[in-house]
Chains A and B, each alone.
Chain A
């Protein structure tokens, strides 16, 4: 279909989650998606919502106004960014008074929000624009013997009134995308529960307990890997897995893959191009299983 988007990286990904970006770009390019870099973008605004809702609205609107100048729809890898840009776009389109207030701030920098672009998270773009059919056709090494679990995270689903994507109580999109690779996606307790990331820095204890809860539920069903689609959730489960293991004196050893890494493997992209070496929890075992399994067939 030759989809073309403006890619909005946000802050967390260039800061410390490069494996997600590397694998996403590889996979999207192979699927024929064209990504245009977004000049002069700033933080989506979400991190400032707790201290100033107004600042959040302005920061998001500034990004939307920049995208409008380019005349391209936005694609994000981070659900927090996608959720914020979607929500603010909807609010400002519907509320004329608020739009005028926010535009008065943007005017200080010569910008204006008009409400002419849409934002999609990569998962939404994969299912709605690129399509499962195209993805299935691109699979050359089906991951038939792999059993994984998924974690959607919150901001891709909630609040449903603003996000309007999938069913927040029983989401299916990520499962379907995982199953498109022929891997099995296992059910487990509290799948839609928060990873705890937003509480880091306020109470690490609470945050890590939430992540630990998920890891223990995932271990219970013997998942070989956990699949995420959010940089923050990934940090909680991958970067912090060792910390959680020490804190609770438990062993998990569950590799945490960004969905594009999983999809990339199934599309036959060499693992060394999918940044597995950037992961904190060693994923060699499943990468080996996938690549050697394919050779045997």
Chain B
């Protein structure tokens, strides 16, 4: 996925959704968004920001606070977070930065903006219960490796528990999880 710079264009008042921040603050993990005072600890301690020209957690948080809904949700940059939780642990305002970013990703996913790697994992979980399709060869090899057989999964039971989840309801409609 290409990196794109999210905020080079001037911000127009018409882009701003003043209620966006409250919508985020209502979601699990997004509650403390409003506490952020933009000190930049998250960005300066972020290992990804060190090597990415565009990923800046402080900027993402500010965009969310400002209400730049489409700009932040359509940004590829959102998906670069490695979820190492350094920002969350070091935030002096106790903002769960990585969780706010996760909330934003969830909202982006509802719109269908999801990198392929996540779609593949979701599809695999629905099919087998595991995030990766474990090759038959690997399963057979276990015996020669003196490992006990891999316990039998129950993908049908997994599918039942997930059938009322919004993200997977898109799956049924479009044949794949939250297609673009």
Residues of A within 8 A of B (CB): 9, 11-12, 14-16, 18, 21-22, 25, 37-43, 47-55, 58-59, 62, 91, 98, 104-106, 108-111, 154-155, 158-160, 168, 193-194, 196-203, 205-207, 209-210, 275
Q: Complex Cα distance A213/B161, Å?
A: 41
Choose one: A39, A40, A108; the contact of B160 (CB below 8 Å): A108
Interface centre among A40, A199, A275 (most CB of B within 10 A): A199
Q: What chain A residues lie within 8 Å of B40 (beta carbons)? A: none
Cβ of B174 within 8 Å of any chain A Cβ, yes or no, is: no
Cβ of B29 within 8 Å of any chain A Cβ, yes or no, is: yes
Q: What chain A residues lie within 8 Å of B118 (beta carbons)? A: 47-48, 50-51
Q: Is the CB of B115 within 8 A of A202?
A: yes
Q: Is the CB of B130 within 8 A of A43?
A: yes
Q: Is the CB of A105 within 8 A of B82?
A: no
Cβ of B39 within 8 Å of any chain A Cβ, yes or no, is: no
Q: List 10 A-B contacts (CB under 8 A).
A: A15-B138, A16-B138, A52-B168, A53-B27, A55-B168, A62-B157, A109-B160, A198-B81, A202-B80, A203-B3
Q: Complex Cα distance A98/B155, Å?
A: 24
Interface centre among A14, A37, A50 (most CB of B within 10 A): A50
User: Which residues in window 37-88 of B have CB below 8 A to A?
Assistant: 47-48, 50-52, 55, 79-86, 88
Cβ of B11 within 8 Å of any chain A Cβ, yes or no, is: no
Q: Complex Cα distance A269/B155, Å?
A: 37
Q: Complex Cα distance A51/B79, Å?
A: 10
Q: Is the CB of B147 within 8 A of A22?
A: yes
Closest to A197 in B: B82
* In the complex, per-residue mask of B153-164: 1 if CB is within 8 Å of any chain A CB, else 0: 111011011111
Q: What chain B residues lie within 8 Å of A155 (beta carbons)? A: 85
Q: Is the CB of B51 within 8 A of A53?
A: no
Shortest CB–CB separation between residue B172 and chain A, in angstroms? 14
